[in-house]
Amino acid sequence: MATMTAGSLQMAAMRPCTSSSRRLFMSSAAILGVDVKGASQAKFASSSYISSVKPLRKTLVSAPLKFTNVVTRALSGESEKGVVSGLPIDLRGKRAFVAGVADDNGYGWAIAKALAAAGAEILVGTWVPALNIFETSLRRGKFDESRRLPNGSLMEIIKVYPLDAVYDTPEDVPDDVRTNKRYAGASNWTVKEVAESVKNDFGSIDILVHSLANGPEVTKPLLETSRKGYLAAISASSYSFVSLLKHFLPIMNPGGASISLTYIASERTIPGYGGGMSSAKAALESDTMVLAFEAGRKHKIRVNTISAGPLGSRAAKAIGFIEKMIEYSYANAPLQKELSADEVGNTAAFLVSPLASAVTGSVVYVD
């Protein structure tokens, strides 16, 4: 039942351009513009390709579009000519744990890749039933194309940990899950155990990324959602962030940062985004503000969440109408382009970097 796919149920931001009253957000990260001809790429929640892959669908207009894809550069402090270039996002010497990476097709993967491009060491937590497939694909090179960083090297994932963030401790795991064949051979995968394993292996981390969600009844209207389904959505999609931060905070270095992924359904009605998922995202955003205060006062850790727009990931297709949501957003957005996963990854890299040292408790819209 405890399905944990990286940011799996994040949905498209469907709102007209005239309705937004939020302040615009611009990262001061060093960026490189890459012109891409034709349709842009439809991307959506959690582990995903970054920019240079073929489009998932045609755009709504017949004439080819031309836009700029933003790619985070890992600047070592000097350009090829030996001259300092721009304002770098420098995460060298930092270690990140990204919870919710199960493939290379979502926001979790894009965030991990952007952090790696900025120099961070990457650890990931993968939902237990997806672990073998993910590790096998990595080992066989199936993700090599999407692992490629701007400098031509491949993103290195230092270690993959089995994780089911629905369960805090081994005592919380019911017998039917413990004996499930999909969990056979895996151990130490509850939140507390994973945090302890990371501490034993590496001592500490600097960055914590929550890129996972699940709502077993997401296709049901809220009025038809059961109590069990509603609470399951809250548990997997919002409390899981509280639990991860609670258990990882003691091993996070002061000055570190944590981010999660939310969705506009937290504040606006999105028909079809049911099963309590809109409530879970609202809770996640409220928790972000409270956790920012508590983690900031106690451990000097910043906590932010990214409200990301439409992405046609594999997990999003479970909703059944993600393409329509992408088209709606495309037609009504102020910037008439489809969102690519790397744009969310770039924002995440900025938010966890020293460049955002005074940004905490914020919902940052990338949609």
| Residues 283, 285, 288: CA angle, nearest 5 degrees | 110
- The HSE-up count of residue 97 (CA atoms within 13 Å, CB side) is 31
259 contact partners, CB below 8 Å, separation of at least 6: 111, 208, 209, 210, 303, 304, 305, 306, 348, 351, 352
What pTM was computed for the model? Answer: 0.77
For the stretch 45-71, pLDDT in tens is: 333 333 333 333 333 334 443 433 434
Q: Which domains does the chain have, with CATH numbers?
A: 95-365 (3.40.50.720)
- For residue 289, the model assigns a pLDDT of 98
More confident residue, 32 or 191: 191
Q: Does the pLDDT value for residue 43 go beyond 60?
A: no
Q: Is 191's pLDDT higher than 90?
A: yes
* pLDDT tens figures, 200-228: 999 999 999 999 999 999 999 999 999 99
Strand partners, 365: 307
- In terms of Cβ atoms closer than 10 Å to its own Cβ (0-12, 13-18, 19+), residue 202 is middle
Show the tokens assigned to 207.
């960055």
For the annotated catalytic residues, the residue numbers are 263, 273
- The predicted-structure confidence for 328-351, as pLDDT tens digits, reads as follows 777 777 887 888 899 999 999 999
C-alpha dihedral sign at 365, 345, 327, 212? negative
Residue 78: burial class (beta carbons within 10 Å; 0-12, 13-18, 19+): exposed
Q: What percent of the chain has pLDDT over 70?
A: 73
